[in-house]
Copies of this chain bind each other. A is one copy, B any other.
Amino acid sequence: MKSYTEYLYFNTKQKREYIRITDEVAKLVEKSGVKEGLVLVSAMHITASVYVNDWENGLIQDIDEWLEKLAPVNPDYRHHQTGEDNGDAHLKRMILGHQVTLPITKGNLDLGPWEQVFYAEFDGQRKKRVLIKIIGD
């Protein structure tokens, strides 16, 4: 079994951002030499998500507004009694999920035609990390 590990770093300008990372992941799959296997793409911070959905700006705005409705910015989270102000980010990240596992088939990411991998930042403007772990043969 082969394995290959890499980290992607992000430091977003906005508090909330949605960044397509499909190409970065695909390049690492190629670099790993794995022909059949799995890639884990996982946010290492607890106020960020990794998800798969459409690469379409209208939808990305829809997702952002929808998350804000389901898990709004709000001063009253109990978590804020610790001095933090990012309670909403901890909740938003649960809706989209914090990781995806992508299949590798014949040496390539085996994605459907519209599947795109995104890093979603909910508490940005500081350095964050995503782990890429590839295993297979």
Contacts and interface: CB of A to CB of B under 8 A. Distances in A.
A18 B16 CA distance: 28
A128 to B, nearest CB: 9
Contacts of A137: 1, 3
Interface size on A, as a range, is 35 or more
Q: Copy number of this protein in the oligomer?
A: 3
- Judged by DSSP, the binding face of A is mixed
Contacts of A114: 45-46
Contacts of A100: 98-99
A118 to B, nearest CB: 11
Given A54-B46, A61-B78, A79-B56, A3 B115 contact: no
B87 A62 contact: yes
The 7 tightest CB contacts between A and B, nearest first, are A44-B112, A58-B78, A3-B36, A59-B79, A103-B133, A58-B79, A1-B1
Interface of A: 1, 3, 5, 36-38, 40, 42-46, 51-54, 56-59, 61-63, 66, 70-71, 77-82, 87, 90-91, 93-103, 105, 110-112, 114-115, 129, 131, 133, 135-137
